[in-house]
Amino acid sequence: MATKDTAADLAERSQVNYLLGLDTVPWYRKRSLRNLYFCLVPAALGVEMTSGYDGSVLNGLQAVQPWIDYFGHPQGAILGVMTAAFSIGAVLAVPFVPWTNDRFGRKVSIMVGSVILLIGVIIQTVSINIAMFVISRVILGMGIPFAISGASQLIVELAYPKERAVLTGLFNESWYVGAIIAAGVTLGTYNIPNNWSWRLPSVLQGAPSILQLIFIWWLPESPRWLVSKGRSEEAFEILVKYHAEGDRSSAFVAAEFAEIQETIKLEVESSKRKWVELLQTRGNRRRVLIAACVGLFSQWSGNGLVSYYLSKVLATVGITAKHDQNVINLGLMCWNFITGVTGSFMTKYMGRRTQYMSSYAAMTFFFVCWTIASAVYAQTFNHHAAGAVVAMIFLYYPAYNLMMPLTYIYVTEVFPFVTRAKGVAITQIFSRAGSAFNQFVNPIGLSNLGWKFYIVYDVWLACELTIIYLFYPETKGPTLEELSILFDGPAAKVAVVTRTTSPSATEMMDIESDDKGVGVVQYVEDITKANA
């Protein structure tokens, strides 16, 4: 499956990476880039807050007595359906997401998702029965893939390359920001002696979507999307403003724009934009496998037990007090945020493959320890064993959070522009489908098997580690455009601006001269020779 080129080889030959290395000015000393990131945080990075809030608030509501009483003490399959409705809605919407992203742009996709989410929030807040509550959660789920897909691609395609991985990682970790807020809100409202104890946390779920709808107007569109729509002048100006602080003579922007423009031109010319294309080449089939695994593994690694059913997990080791469960939930979410942000910054220092392997090896180890401690408590009712279970949960999550920032970094790096929206959609489908399955099955498994249910995850985590070792390539280093060579070799539809073919900044001024070969690179000659 491997080609002769590695990520390190591509990065070494790349003129874009060479010029990027000459820039030693940090982002916070660049006015335009600073302003971009200021708006990017609430408009795009905060999108995952809604997912995190949803998971944590439903966790917290299971320890809120008025919510339990109002909906008739939901258990087992009923609780599973109420929880899984969010993911079911997401699966239903995902097939329409790539079309929206590619047809109308990343910003429109975020706005569509935000509006749908607000509709779901309103219905959930005023729910009068289980059916209405479930419907509201289906609608919430339908909004989230539009927002997440648009935001993840906008961040990757708009951010300065030096900050791209960290920003995309923080995007995924914003899940915990929402989770912390939800855990704090439910801790503060759980003892309100009326239905506002759960309606108030429900209504606050709309806050991230409101922020997105406000700040999205100050963000530019993805330059790569603009190029794909024939709006190259706009794309060039965006790159000049944010990647060169207005310097139209920037050699870096000249090389970056040439690579983007020529690569997208080649991709669009060779693609019919149909889903079947993802199965027609060996490289694309490998991409689909990776996208499916990234989505599925992010939900099937044991984290779903804690994300949605922490109170039930704690009950298996004798921690049944509602206050104690909510305090542990809040503390765990804060701990996850700290370790998640740390994991995001580790993307600057670790290779993608190394980060994945380290994460899943550690998760497997700690989950096995978690299982053993639970088994000991079940047999002896030893309070030290119960404490060990809580400790293992807190040790398991730094391992999980080492992987979590990579979800959208890796998928957006693996797929070229012309199929990137579909790649993110595949990850979303498998992530949400896996989550829906777990949300439905986990409460049943915990009720019927207790700690023995954890053994399933012990075995599956070992399987995940093996699959990652066999199929995940290293992608850190090259530009988004150059990475296609790792999967497609000399057949890749990509224009690589090498150290000897970089266009001058003067040549790049004539944006419309595609037929003259602006920024022309001799990909066929260079790459064929390199792979000979």
Tens-place pLDDT, residues 26-47? 999 999 999 999 998 888 877 7
* pLDDT at 498 (0 to 100): 64
pTM confidence score: 0.80
Average pLDDT for 157-165 = 91
What is the distance between the alpha carbons of residues 20 and 298, in angstroms, rounded to a whole number? 32
Q: Which residues of 315-341 are buried (b: 16+ CB within 10 A; e: fewer)?
A: ebbebeebeebbebbbebbebbbebbb
Tens-place pLDDT, residues 168-205? 888 888 888 888 888 788 878 877 888 888 899 889 88
**Of 236 and 276, the one with more pLDDT:** 236
* pLDDT at 519 (0 to 100): 36
What is the distance between the alpha carbons of residues 453 and 364, in angstroms, rounded to a whole number? 15
Average pLDDT for 327-355 = 90
What is the distance between the alpha carbons of residues 13 and 375, in angstroms, rounded to a whole number? 54
Residues 6+ apart with CB under 8 A from 355: 343, 346, 347, 402, 403, 406
Least confident of 218-222, 333-337, 411-415, 504-508: 504-508
* pLDDT at 285 (0 to 100): 93
Mean model confidence pLDDT for the chain: 84
For the chain, count helices (H), then strands (E). 25, 0
* Dihedral angle computed from the Cα positions of residues 179, 125, 117 and 334, in that order, rounded to the nearest 10 degrees: -10
* pLDDT at 511 (0 to 100): 36
| Nearest CA-CA partner of 250 in 32, 439, 452 | 32
Q: What pLDDT band is residue 481 in, cutting at 50, 70 and 90?
A: confident
**Of 468 and 273, the one with more pLDDT:** 468
CATH of domain 7-485: 1.20.1250.20
Residue 503 has pLDDT above 80, yes or no: no
Tens-place pLDDT, residues 44-89? 877 788 888 887 777 778 778 888 888 888 877 787 788 778 888 9
What is the distance between the alpha carbons of residues 219 and 43, in angstroms, rounded to a whole number? 8
Tens-place pLDDT, residues 292-326? 999 999 988 988 787 767 777 888 788 878 778 77
